[in-house]
Amino acid sequence: MPLCKFGCDELFENGYISVQNGSLVSLQKTHSSEELENHISRIVGNMRRNFNENSE
In a domain, 48, yes or no: no
Cα separation, 37 vs 50, whole angstroms: 25
Cα separation, 26 vs 51, in Å, equals 17
Among residues 42, 39, 48, 45, the alpha carbon closest in space to that of 25 is found at 45
Could you give the CA distance from residue 40 to residue 35 in angstroms, rounded to a whole number?
A: 9
- What's the confidence (pLDDT) of residue 35? 86
- Rounded to the nearest 5°, which phi and psi values hold at 41? -65, -25
Residue 27 resides in a domain = yes
Q: Is 52 a domain residue? A: no
pLDDT (0 to 100) of residue 49: 67
Q: How many domains does the chain have?
A: 1
Q: Which domain holds residue 19?
A: 8-43
Domain assignment present for residue 2? The answer is: no
Task: Profile the chain (56 residues) by mean pLDDT over runs of 10 residues.
Answer: 70 88 79 82 77 65
pTM for the full predicted model = 0.68
Question: How much is the pLDDT for 1?
Answer: 54
50 belongs to a structural domain: no
